[in-house]
Structure 1
Amino acid sequence: MHPHTLAAAQTDPNLELTLKVLPAVIVILIVSALCGRLANRLWQPRVLGEMIAGVLLGPTLFGWLFPDVQAKIFPPEVTPILYVLSTIGLTLYMFLVGAGMEHGGGSGPRQPAHQPAIVAIAGILPALLLGMGAGLLLWSTLSDPGIDRWFFAAFLGGALSITAFPMLARILYERGLENSPLGKLSLMAGGVDDAVAWCGLAILTAIHLDSGPGGAIRTIGLAALFVALMLTVVSRALGALGRHVLRSGHISNGAMYLVILVPLIAGWLTDWIGVYSVFGGFIAGLAMPRDAAFRRMLHGRMMDVVSTLLLPIFFAFSGLNTRLDGLGGATMLLAFVTILLAGFAGKYFGCSLAMRSLGFGWRESNAVGALMNARGLMILIFINIGLAQGMIGQQVFSMLVLVAVLTTAAALPLYKAAMPDRLERAQRNEPSGEKELATAA
């Protein structure tokens, strides 16, 4: 460091903090880029590499091999800054997820309403019940003191019942299946799964933070009022913004100020309500104009910055709280395997059997089971909230991070094994694949 800079840093605490935060962010971005590229080369989504990068930067590897260097790059005073940046990033990312969701529509025949509902229920209930069973069984081993047995079981079941909706959508869009019967059904079911999980987390948070049922009822009531106002009053008001953007053909800088302020204010309000800011960001996205051209412009302006700068910081923040060295020993290993199997079996077999009961072939059924079983970023958000609120401890958090990595890594290989290219062509209504799909059924 230049002598003048060093002297200034010693007298200016803000500059001193900046000189600590920037190296941490630089290291995070470099490692995330490398791991994301490696994941792509292994035919995995980039987000999996970024998740693994976060774990590698934590005490599990970097802190174990080079503890002094890791402590210097990620000192305690940097952690709150990373937390704020990751919270802003998650709020904006969930805003983009909500803004990118289609409310019905799309090409092709409409999906029968009962089908996605059945798959969504099958994706939630088995994983929820098996997760709660595992939680009840492992409560005395894993839960922190003061956490009720049934509360711990409900949190674990809720975490295992979640689906990585953004990853599910990304795979289907990349493969041109978003408007296929399988794609539409999966997207609708995955969206319902995540919505139910966030509502469940809101209820658990309300119960955990308030001493009596009155506080939980207040939080739930305010959250419901917030959703109703956002999807009616605010949504109609934003319609003018959508029309202006479509007339001009681009989102101006002035319009971008408004676009970014909406999810940040919504996140602040839901934090004040007690439901966490990512929920507000997601609802703000749903309130955005629904025109496809507007959504493309919005994603084009924001997604790259959010996903390449702010999300890796969230993964690193999660990794700094992950200690896989604490999973050693037969008891902890058995507990982890129990949680992993409960989550995998509940989601995969629940969705596969539900699809089969609706008349889909085994290959299509297993493909949806594989996609719905990926937990990716969504479970990391869920459990980070749980850790921050004191609903779970370090060991359970670390186990669920590993569950997120393994189920996300397994999703695409299992999907491809069930749905080879010739059957994908049939799903896209390409003539060369129709005969193969009929045979596979």
Structure 2
Amino acid sequence: MPLLMTAPDPNLALVLQVLPALVVILVAAAVCGRLAQLVMQPRVLGEMVAGVLLGPTLLGRLFPEAQAALFPPTVRPVLYVLSTIGLTLYMFLVGAGLDHGARTPGEVRKAGVLAASGILPSMLLGVGAGLLLHGTLSRPDVGPLPFALFVGGALSLTAFPMLARILYERGLENSPLGRLALLAASIDDALAWCLLAVLSAMHLGTGPSGALPTIVLTAVFAVVMLKVVAPLLRPLGRTVARTGRFGPNAMYAVVLVPLAAGWVTDWIGVYSVFGGFFAGLAMPRDPVFRQALHGRMMEVVSTLLLPVFFTFSGLNTHLGGIVGGTMLAAFALILAAGFSGKYFGCSLAMRGLGFGWRESYAVGALMNARGLMILIFINIGLAQGMITQELFAMLVLVAVLTTAGALPLYKLALPDRLEPAAPRPAQTPFVRTNS
């Protein structure tokens, strides 16, 4: 009886609010992910849509009381923390999975050409669209050039992990087409993250001079991770390569390094995903190490934590704001700039590198998918006050539509019967994610 009379523990009350929210998030992600696979789409597309459906666009409009009960103001900070940890670890795994080594003469040069063809047209068209739409979509405290650069940077992204998954599933990762596409996509994303780091530093500072310390500290952090931390981690890579598995001490290291790096970059003033990404780049490059790392961490991160991020994004996505002729025209302009810049830029570059038109359009379709990467990019912009809710919602739709169009356009250009044969590696590759 005394226990029943005790005042309720507020921490227990919070747990009882968070757990139902997590259950609903995971069920919605599983169902929508499976539905996406049934229509020949990557699972991540369904998870992205599930996050939007749980937000104000559908659940909040049809059942506002249920949505308010599931995601009250006390739960959202917990979801934010979980999604930030998930993004930091996910970008850590993406960074650890990047392989920039060349296998054929001139491959890096060709990949650089393809990467430039994916970045420059998208960036230029995105900047142009941003300048035209600054008065319509921008916050009053964001100038025309930073706003336009943010739009251009978001549209220049490629969903590197999704591209890797499609190529690996089709046995094309070691073909000339697959190698070039993977190298170019990794370059595109790395440059886009560098641009976002600079924009974040400038936005959070008081003009260029106020942003300079943040930019300098970010550069110093990157150098320390790649030149100091990376050599210290090489013995760990040799140990895992010899045994083929992670021991407890190794697991502590690979979890602590990205989280500590994320904490440092948050303290610097950029965002924890940058720390996670550079922590991944600092990891040993041994294929056995990368495969073991993927096997231990990727499924947990992508199954448990990323759906929380998609839902947190969905709670901030108000598609109802994209109404009226002006907003619809603005969205159409951004979508057209993003699609045409990547698709035609990369297709023409591949043709110029000596590939056939079918292979060129196939790579253009894959490079045009933005998947999870653009969602991370725009969530940082929204959290730091660089963009409005309306632009955020438009770019979420761009992410969904370009990701949904990637595989159908790829198969239209390069049906199964015309795909070039490429031997599969004896070992399952590292980057095989749902993004």
TM range (shorter): over 0.9
Is 1:135 the equivalent of 2:130? yes
2:363 corresponds to which residue? 368
The answer as to whether partners of 1:32 and 1:49 remain within 8 angstroms in 2 is: yes
TM-superposition CA deviations, 1:11-55 (whole Å, max 9, x none): 311111111111111100000000000111111000000000000
The answer as to whether partners of 2:171 and 2:421 remain within 8 angstroms in 1 is: no
TM-superposition CA deviations, 1:86-111 (whole Å, max 9, x none): 00000001111111122315xx6345
TM-superposition CA deviations, 1:385-437 (whole Å, max 9, x none): 0000000010000000000000000001001111111232x24279xxxxxxx
Matches of 1:349 and 1:256 in 2, distance apart?
Answer: 43
Report 1 or 2 for greater relative contact order, CA contacts < 8 Å, sequence distance ≥ 6. 2
| Counterpart code for 1:145 | P
Matches of 2:176 and 2:4 in 1, distance apart?
Answer: 62
1:67 corresponds to which residue? 64
2:433 corresponds to which residue? none
Is 1:298 the equivalent of 2:293? yes
Q: Percent identity?
A: 68
Matches of 2:31 and 2:133 in 1, distance apart?
Answer: 37
Structure 2 counterpart of 1:79, from 72, 76, 80:
76
Runs of 4+ in 1 over 4 A off after TM superposition: 3-8
Structure-to-structure mapping, 1:387-402, within 5 angstroms: 387-402=382-397
1:385 corresponds to which residue? 380
Matches of 2:45 and 2:91 in 1, distance apart?
Answer: 18
Q: Give the drift of 1:373.
A: 0.4
| Counterpart code for 1:205 | S
2:427 corresponds to which residue? none
Is 1:346 the equivalent of 2:341? yes
Residue 213 and residue 193 in structure 1: after superposition, are their counterparts in 2 closer, same or farther (change >3 A)?
same
Matches of 1:389 and 1:303 in 2, distance apart?
Answer: 28
Structure 2 counterpart of 1:251, from 225, 246, 249:
246
Is 1:89 the equivalent of 2:83? no
Q: Give the drift of 1:275.
A: 2.2
1:437 corresponds to which residue? none
Q: Paired residues, what number?
A: 424
| Counterpart code for 2:216 | G
- Gapped runs of 5+ residues in structure 2? 425-435
Instruction: Describe the SS at the equivalent of 1:76.
Output: coil
Residue 122 and residue 34 in structure 1: after superposition, are their counterparts in 2 closer, same or farther (change >3 A)?
same
The answer as to whether partners of 1:111 and 1:181 remain within 8 angstroms in 2 is: no
1:433 corresponds to which residue? none
Is 1:311 the equivalent of 2:306? yes
| Counterpart code for 2:25 | I
Matches of 2:166 and 2:346 in 1, distance apart?
Answer: 17
Matches of 1:81 and 1:317 in 2, distance apart?
Answer: 10
1:436 corresponds to which residue? none
- Which moved further from structure 2: 289-298 or 219-228? 219-228
1:29 corresponds to which residue? 26
Instruction: Describe the SS at the equivalent of 2:334.
Output: helix
Residue 191 and residue 65 in structure 1: after superposition, are their counterparts in 2 closer, same or farther (change >3 A)?
same
Structure 2 counterpart of 1:45, from 30, 42, 45:
42
Q: Give the drift of 1:300.
A: 0.6
The answer as to whether partners of 1:231 and 1:286 remain within 8 angstroms in 2 is: yes
Matches of 1:346 and 1:184 in 2, distance apart?
Answer: 21
2:162 corresponds to which residue? 167
1:420 corresponds to which residue? 415
1:324 corresponds to which residue? 319
| Counterpart code for 1:421 | D
Matches of 1:134 and 1:188 in 2, distance apart?
Answer: 28
Structure 2 counterpart of 1:226, from 213, 221, 226:
221
Is 1:196 the equivalent of 2:191? yes
Instruction: Describe the SS at the equivalent of 2:267.
Output: helix
2:276 corresponds to which residue? 281
| Counterpart code for 2:318 | R
The answer as to whether partners of 2:100 and 2:183 remain within 8 angstroms in 1 is: no
The answer as to whether partners of 1:127 and 1:342 remain within 8 angstroms in 2 is: yes
Matches of 2:22 and 2:12 in 1, distance apart?
Answer: 15
The answer as to whether partners of 1:182 and 1:427 remain within 8 angstroms in 2 is: no
The answer as to whether partners of 1:181 and 1:427 remain within 8 angstroms in 2 is: no
| Counterpart code for 1:15 | L
Is 1:180 the equivalent of 2:161? no
The CA RMSD over aligned residues, in Å, is 1.7
Instruction: Describe the SS at the equivalent of 1:113.
Output: helix
The answer as to whether partners of 1:111 and 1:184 remain within 8 angstroms in 2 is: no
2:431 corresponds to which residue? none
Matches of 2:400 and 2:4 in 1, distance apart?
Answer: 41
The answer as to whether partners of 2:29 and 2:47 remain within 8 angstroms in 1 is: yes
The answer as to whether partners of 2:174 and 2:423 remain within 8 angstroms in 1 is: no
Matches of 1:24 and 1:48 in 2, distance apart?
Answer: 21
The answer as to whether partners of 1:111 and 1:185 remain within 8 angstroms in 2 is: no
